Structure 1
Amino acid sequence: MSKLDVTKKHYSKLKAMSKITNIPSEIRNFFSEKRRSIVMDTFTRLLEGLNLDNRSLGGLKRENCQLTNLQVFQILLLFPFFAIKGFSHYDGSALCRMFGGKKDILYSYLSQDNVDWRNVVYRITNWLLTKVTVRQDHKKSLLPTVLIADDTDLPKTGMHMESIGKIFSHVHQKCILGYKALMLCWSDGRTQFMLDFSLHGEKGKVDGKEQGLTSEQRNGRYERKRDEKCHIAKRKEEYFMSKGVKLLDMVKNAIRNKIPFDYLLVDSWFTCTELVDFVYRRHKKFHLLGMAKMGNTKYMTTNWGELSAKAIITKLKAKKEVKYSRRYHCHYSEIEVVLGKRAVKLFFCKRGKKEAWKVLLTTDLRLRFMRAYEIYAMRWSIEVFFSDSKRLLGLADCSSRNFSAHIAHVSLVMIRYNILASIKRTLDYDTIGGLFGDMYLGVHELTVVEKIWAIIIEVVAVVSELIGADSDELTIQIIENDKRLAALREYAQTA
C-alpha cells in the first residue's frame, strides 16, 4: 500500500472517529496488514489489556467532553510514538484527527488531584511483572531479583512552576532549577520495571533564599489550594521529606504490593544504620547490598575494636588479606563487622594503583565478593532507565505550572517504559532504544499518510465549494474512481 492509496473504508473511519470507544484496536486497524508493525501491534494489545477503568483514572469524564478519562489516558500514553512533543502539538497531530479532542482536555486531565497515580502504576506494573516471572528464562536465571533505588535531576526552565526551586546537581556539580525524582526500580537482570517515585525539593541553607530563590521569585510561583485528603496533596507532603525516609516508605509499599525481590540495591547516599535496621526488622526476607562511604562511620570488628572503613582496610592490607581478581581486574577484601547492633559484611574493592578504595555493605553474611560484585552491577539498570526515558520519553520535559501535572507526567513516562520493557523481553530486542525506533518508524509512516490525506480532504472541500457539490459525495467519488489516483501515482513516479 503506497502512501497515496486511499480507500472508502479509510475515509469512513475518518468521519466516524468521534464515535470510537476502543482506541487501541482502532490504532491497530488503521494500519494495513503489510504496514502493521509487530511492535505497535503488541503495544496496543498490552494497552488494551490494562486492568484499568474510568473510575481509577479520575471518574467517567468531564461534562461536555467527548472523551472518557480512560481514552484520554490511552491517547497520552501514545504521545511519544506519534512524535507529539507536547500538548501544544496535539491539535495538528494524527491522534487528534483520529480521535478528536483539544489540548485543553489533556491539560485539565493531568491537572486532576483525585487520581491515585501510585496505585495506577503498581496495578499496571504488577500485571506486566507476572508476564515476566512465569517465563523459563526468568526462573532459570542465575541472577536474583532486586529493587534498585536512586534519584535523578529533572531540570526545568520555568520559574512559575508550583514549588519549583534550586537543587544541587551531582552531574553538573552546581545548583540548577528543577525537581529531584527519587525512583524505585525492579530488575531481574534482563528486564527492569519502574515501580514508584516521589518528587523532592531542597530547602537550602541560606536564610532569606529558601530553595535558592529570592522572596519575589518564591511569591511568583503558581499556588493551588487542594483538599488535604486528595492524592496529590499527599504527594506534595513528600516534597521536603528526607529521601532516605521516603525510600523506606517505598520499600514497604513494594512489599504490600507483593513485589518479589531478594536484594535492595542502593548507593552510598542511602546506606546507613537506619536502613540496615529496617531490613533486619522486615517480615519479608531480603538483604541490603549498598555502596557505603569511606567516612567516619565506626564498625565494631572482632580483633581490632571500633574502626572506620579506612582503618579497617589498612589493617587488612597489613595482614595481607587483600586478594586479586583476574576476572574483574581488581583487588578486594572482605570482613564481617557490626554496625550499630546488626551484623554486616564489608567488601573492599580497588581498581588500579591510583584509584581509591570503595566499600560495599551487605546484610547477607553468606555472600562472597564475586557474587556481591555481580549483583551490585545490576544497579546500573536504573541508570539505563534515566538515560532512555529522558532521551526518548521526555521524562524531564513537563513544563506545566501545576504540581499535579508533573506527578501525572512522570507516572505516564514510567508506564510507557514498563510496557516497552515488557515488549522488549517478549520480542527479544537488545535495547529499549532499538524497540522505540522500530515502533516510531511505523507510526511516522502513518503520520505522513494522514498529513497527505488531510491535504486531499482540504483541497476537495475547496473544489466542492467552488462547483457547488457536496464534499462528502465528491470525496467518495474520487475514492471509488481508482483510475484518477492511479494516474496521479504514475505521474509522480515518472516526474
Structure 2
Amino acid sequence: GFTTSYLFHLVFCLIFHHKSWCTLLSSKKGDCYPAKDAVYRFMNHSKFAWRRFLTYLSAHAVQKVDALTDEKRPKTLIIDDSMFDRNRSKKVELLARCMDHSSLTKRFYKGFRMLTLGWSDGYTFMPLDFTLLSSKNAQINGISNNIDKRTSGYKRRVEALESAPIIIPSMLERALQAGISADYVLMDTWFTQQPLIQSIVELGLDVIGMVKNTNQRYLMNSQRLSLKELYKIATPVPDKKGILRSIHTTMANGVQVKVVFVQNRNKKSEWLAILSTDCTLSEQEIIRIYGMRWDIEVFFKTTKSLLKLQKEFQGMSYDLLISHTTIVFSRYIVLSWQNRCHTDQRTLGGIFYELCDEVNELDWAVALQQLIELLEDTLKKTNTKIQKLIKSQLQQW
C-alpha cells in the first residue's frame, strides 16, 4: 500500500510535471506510480479533515509572511465567491443550478459557488478556507445515502446547503482561532449586508465593503435614509480626484459606519459607495485598503487558469471536489510563499539583518569621519591653545 502523505505529494506535484494523471500513468515511468484507483480512493475518502489541514498550513504560512510585514501596514481578510463550473456533469453529488452574478447577462451554470476566505497584506495573498456551496432550492442532486454522518465529509455536505451569511462568521472565527491576525474584512456588494456586518463586528473585526442601493436604511437625524438620500446630504470632499462625498452615519442595527462615495470609472455620471465600520480612517485610506480586495480575484484567475482547478480530476463524489480544491489551494500557498521569498530581501533572514547592521555601522563611521574633518577645518581658524586642546581630544577619540 501507499501512505496518504505519498499520495498527497504525488497529486500536489502533478501540476509541476506539466502532465495529467492519465498521461503520467501512460508514460515510460508509469509503472513506478500507484494505480489510478489508489489515488481516487485517497481523494474520495470522507474521513480526512481537509479543512483542518488547510487551516494549519495557511496559518503557518501567514505567520511567516506576517513577520515580514510592517506592524503599521493593515492586514485584511477577504471574502468572495467564484463559480465552480461543472456544466458537463450530471451525477455529481450536490450539483446545483447556480447564477453567475459576475456576468453581465446573469447566466446560469451547473456547479457550485466557491465561497473563499483569504488573507492579504497588500503584497501576498494566502487562501485560508473555502466552501463549495450548493443550493436547497436549485439542487440537481442530493447528498449520497452511503456517506457516514459522523465524518468530516458529511459535515461539509450539510454546510454546503447553508447560505453564505451563515457560513462566513464561522469561517472568520476559525481563522482567528488559528492565530491569524487581521484588522479588516473586505467584502463585495453581495456580502455587505447589515446582519453580516454586525456579526463580523462582534468578532472584533472592522468591515470595509462596497454597498449597493438596496432596501438597507441608514439613520441620520432620526430619519431612515436610503443610500441615494444619504448621498444628497453627504459632505463634498474637495480637491480629491475621484472621491465625491463622505458621511458618518449609523446603520439600522446600530453599527456606526463611514460611507465614502467615489466616481464610477466605467460610467462617470454614476457613483459607487464604500462602507467602513472604522470611522477613524480617512477617505483615501478606506479606498486604498478596499483596493486590496482585488488580490482574491487574481487568486481565482490563477487557480483556474494555471493550477487546473475544476479540470485536473473528474469525479462524482463531493469529497473529491473538496480534496482536490484543498490541494490546489495548498499549491497556491507554497507558490505565494516562494514568490515572497524571491522578492523580499528580508526572507534572507540573518544575512539581511547582518547586512543592515553593517550598513548602520558604515554610516556611523562615515558620519564620525566627516565630523572630525569639520573640526580640523575649524582648528585652522582658532588660536594655538584651543588647537592643542581639540587635537588632544581628537587623539583620545
Q: CA-atom RMSD, angstroms? A: 2.0
C-alpha offsets along residues 60-88 of structure 1, whole Å, 9 cap, x if unaligned? xxxxx2x2111101111001111223x33
Aligned to 2:181: 260
Aligned to 2:232: 314
Given the alignment of the two structures, is residue 178 of structure 1 paired with residue 178 of structure 2, yes or no? no
**Residue 330 of structure 1 aligns to which amino acid in structure 2?**
G
For structure 2, the residue ranges without an aligned partner over 5 or more in a row are 345-397
Aligned to 1:341: 254
Kept in 1: contact 2:220–2:249 (CA 8 A): yes
**Residue 245 of structure 2 aligns to which amino acid in structure 1?**
S
Q: Which SS does the other structure have where 2:210 is aligned?
A: strand
Following the alignment from structure 1 to structure 2, what is the Cα–Cα distance between the partners of residues 377 and 271? 16
Residues 1:314 and 1:277: Cα distance change in structure 2 (over 3 Å): same
Aligned to 2:74: 144
**Residue 90 of structure 1 aligns to which amino acid in structure 2?**
L
Aligned to 1:52: none
Following the alignment from structure 2 to structure 1, what is the Cα–Cα distance between the partners of residues 289 and 19? 38
1:95 to partner: Cα distance: 6.9
Kept in 2: contact 1:90–1:102 (CA 8 A): no
Given the alignment of the two structures, is residue 166 of structure 1 paired with residue 97 of structure 2, yes or no? yes
Given the alignment of the two structures, is residue 384 of structure 1 paired with residue 298 of structure 2, yes or no? yes
Aligned to 2:394: none
Identity over aligned pairs, percent: 26
Kept in 1: contact 2:143–2:157 (CA 8 A): no
Residues 1:128 and 1:305: Cα distance change in structure 2 (over 3 Å): same
Kept in 1: contact 2:264–2:272 (CA 8 A): no
Residues 1:129 and 1:96: Cα distance change in structure 2 (over 3 Å): farther
1:408 to partner: Cα distance: 0.1
**Residue 22 of structure 2 aligns to which amino acid in structure 1?**
S
Q: Which SS does the other structure have where 1:176 is aligned?
A: strand
C-alpha offsets along residues 199-253 of structure 1, whole Å, 9 cap, x if unaligned? 112344xxxxx43x5xxxx4xx883511111000000011120111111110011
Kept in 2: contact 1:161–1:222 (CA 8 A): no
1:324 to partner: Cα distance: 4.9
Following the alignment from structure 1 to structure 2, what is the Cα–Cα distance between the partners of residues 96 and 393? 22
Q: Which SS does the other structure have where 1:139 is aligned?
A: coil
**Residue 331 of structure 1 aligns to which amino acid in structure 2?**
I
User: Of residues 77, 86, 90 in structure 1, which corresponds to 2:24?
Assistant: 90
Given the alignment of the two structures, is residue 357 of structure 1 paired with residue 262 of structure 2, yes or no? no
Aligned to 1:436: none
Residues 1:143 and 1:96: Cα distance change in structure 2 (over 3 Å): farther
Q: Which SS does the other structure have where 2:196 is aligned?
A: helix
1:313 to partner: Cα distance: 0.6
Aligned to 1:484: none
Q: Which SS does the other structure have where 2:199 is aligned?
A: helix
Following the alignment from structure 1 to structure 2, what is the Cα–Cα distance between the partners of residues 378 and 95? 44
Q: Which SS does the other structure have where 1:237 is aligned?
A: helix
Q: Which SS does the other structure have where 2:160 is aligned?
A: coil
Following the alignment from structure 2 to structure 1, what is the Cα–Cα distance between the partners of residues 264 and 79? 25
Following the alignment from structure 1 to structure 2, what is the Cα–Cα distance between the partners of residues 355 and 95? 62
Q: Which SS does the other structure have where 1:90 is aligned?
A: helix
Following the alignment from structure 1 to structure 2, what is the Cα–Cα distance between the partners of residues 114 and 379? 34
1:399 to partner: Cα distance: 2.0
Following the alignment from structure 1 to structure 2, what is the Cα–Cα distance between the partners of residues 95 and 416? 24
Following the alignment from structure 1 to structure 2, what is the Cα–Cα distance between the partners of residues 412 and 379? 23
1:115 to partner: Cα distance: 0.5
**Residue 176 of structure 1 aligns to which amino acid in structure 2?**
Y
Aligned to 2:364: none
C-alpha offsets along residues 89-116 of structure 1, whole Å, 9 cap, x if unaligned? 331247745x421111110000001100
Aligned to 1:153: 83
Residues 1:325 and 1:101: Cα distance change in structure 2 (over 3 Å): farther
1:402 to partner: Cα distance: 0.6
Aligned to 2:160: 239
**Residue 33 of structure 2 aligns to which amino acid in structure 1?**
G
1:322 to partner: Cα distance: 1.8
User: Of residues 190, 212, 216 in structure 2, which corresponds to 1:293?
Assistant: 212
- Using the size of structure 1 for normalisation, the TM-score is 0.65
Aligned to 2:243: 331
**Residue 147 of structure 1 aligns to which amino acid in structure 2?**
L
Residue pairs, 1:69-468, within 5 angstroms: 69-85=4-20, 87-93=21-27, 96=30, 99-135=32-68, 138-139=69-70, 143-156=73-86, 157-172=88-103, 173-204=106-137, 210-211=138-139, 213=140, 218=141, 223-282=144-203, 285-302=204-221, 305-316=223-234, 321-324=235-238, 326=240, 329-339=241-251, 340-351=253-264, 354-397=268-311, 398-428=313-343
Aligned residue pair count:
338
Q: Which SS does the other structure have where 1:360 is aligned?
A: strand
Residues 1:109 and 1:366: Cα distance change in structure 2 (over 3 Å): same
**Residue 217 of structure 2 aligns to which amino acid in structure 1?**
K
For structure 1, the residue ranges without an aligned partner over 5 or more in a row are 1-64, 205-209, 430-495
Residues 1:163 and 1:331: Cα distance change in structure 2 (over 3 Å): same
Kept in 2: contact 1:161–1:401 (CA 8 A): yes
**Residue 229 of structure 2 aligns to which amino acid in structure 1?**
A
